[in-house]
Structure 1
Amino acid sequence: MSLSTRRLLKVITSLRGVHEAPPTMSPAEVSRESSCDALGPRLIPSKNQQGLPSHGLAGLNRQAQRKISEERMRVATLIVGTMTGKGRELVDLGERRDIGVLCVQETRWKGNNTRELGEGCKLYCSGTNMEGRNGVGIILSKQLKENLIVVNRKNDRIMSLKLGLGATIANVVCCAYAPQTGFTEKEKDTFWEEMDQVLGIIPARERVIIGGDLNSHLGISREGIESALRLGCG
């Protein structure tokens, strides 16, 4: 073979190598070569919710609600005249004003009971006296009722409940009308003695909130009534 023929074959061979297609890769090799994880196998979704609190997402919701309760608790008091037909109205009021605890007086409901009012709110009642007068109650929001520890019903004028708010224990004491004009001094003294009994059993480390109508002194001075207004005056 002449020199010119060998050179021609060498050029043809080099050109054929340029135009040859690269070797075909298997799907597994393509997956390994690719940097995009979209070409990889689809992950199987978790069904056992491992890593979440107990009861999964419901547990997360309860933790969030409990955190809100620890940071803020709005307390209000209201004389309702009667609870009959007032449940829906009071629930709407609590939602509009963001009220966690609503102390109500003059419920005029007999017996000590507990009632669901709607939207998760719950009413704890201490019933009326023999004449069907007075009666007090405390309404807890959907979030705060999960923090209830104990309810103490003293009589138709005084009740309290205890809430656990994280590291804080809050005692909400609800009293209806303290005996006003027209009641004897003995009746008034009895009321305040019973209030002292309820407050006296609460440990000093626990927070105390009083909601109600005390029919007490209003003004800018505490002179002469320091023992009656220990926490200030209206």
Structure 2
Amino acid sequence: MIVSERSREAINEVQRYDYRLMKIMIASSSVNIHFFSLYAPQSGLSDNVKDAFWTLLDEQTTAVPSEDFVIVAGDLNDHDGREKNGNCAHGGFDVGERNTN
């Protein structure tokens, strides 16, 4: 996770839950902002690994006080849209083949 020098002084908390999920909490003048950075498991991993990851993310985001903001960003290893045609987000200008998740 990259943080600007200006924001660095406002960091109140850094949590690394595992190698796929971390959080920093920045205190602003009006609200705390919890930034979660993640790298979701790939489709080839077991359902147990994927379920454990999503459970951990759910537990940690719901533990944030309701008056604070939550931002989740990273590589979710997923596709966009209801249909799996692969062109709804990038217009068909991709490289390689689509994965199964």
Normalising by the residue count of structure 2, what TM-score does the alignment of the two structures yield?
0.76
Q: Unaligned stretches of 5+ in structure 2?
A: 83-88, 90-101
Equivalent position of 2:80 in the other structure = 218
Number of residues of Structure 1 aligned to a counterpart in Structure 2 = 84
Q: Secondary structure at the match of 1:172?
A: strand
How far the C-alpha of 1:185 sits from its partner, in A, is 0.9
Q: Return the match for 1:183 from 45, 48, 61.
A: 45
Distance 1:148 1:208 in 2: 14
Distance 1:213 1:144 in 2: 23
Equivalent position of 2:69 in the other structure = 207
Q: Return the match for 1:163 from 26, 29, 45.
A: 26
1:197 aligns with 2:68: no
Distance 1:197 1:189 in 2: 12
Q: Secondary structure at the match of 1:217?
A: coil
Runs of 4+ in 1 over 6 A off after TM superposition: none
CA RMSD between the two structures:
1.6
Residues 82-125 of structure 1: CA distance to partner in whole angstroms, max 9, x if unpaired? xxxxxxxxxxxxxxxxxxxxxxxxxxxxxxxxxxxxxxxxxxxx
Equivalent position of 2:98 in the other structure = none
Distance 1:184 1:209 in 2: 27
Q: Return the match for 2:4 from 132, 141, 146.
A: 141
Residues 16-39 of structure 1: CA distance to partner in whole angstroms, max 9, x if unpaired? xxxxxxxxxxxxxxxxxxxxxxxx
Distance 1:186 1:170 in 2: 30
Q: Higher strand proportion, which one? A: 2
How far the C-alpha of 1:204 sits from its partner, in A, is 1.1
Q: Unaligned stretches of 5+ in structure 1?
A: 1-137, 222-233
- Structure of higher RCO (CA pairs closer than 8 Å, 6+ residues apart): 2
How far the C-alpha of 1:146 sits from its partner, in A, is 0.9
Q: Partner letter of residue 65 of structure 2?
A: P
1:173 aligns with 2:46: no
Normalising by the residue count of structure 1, what TM-score does the alignment of the two structures yield?
0.34
Report the structure number with the largest CA radius of gyration. 1
Percent identity over paired residues = 30
1:1-234 matched pairs, under 5 angstroms: 138-176=1-39, 178-219=40-81, 221=82
Q: Higher helix proportion, which one? A: 1
Q: Secondary structure at the match of 2:43?
A: coil
How far the C-alpha of 1:217 sits from its partner, in A, is 3.2
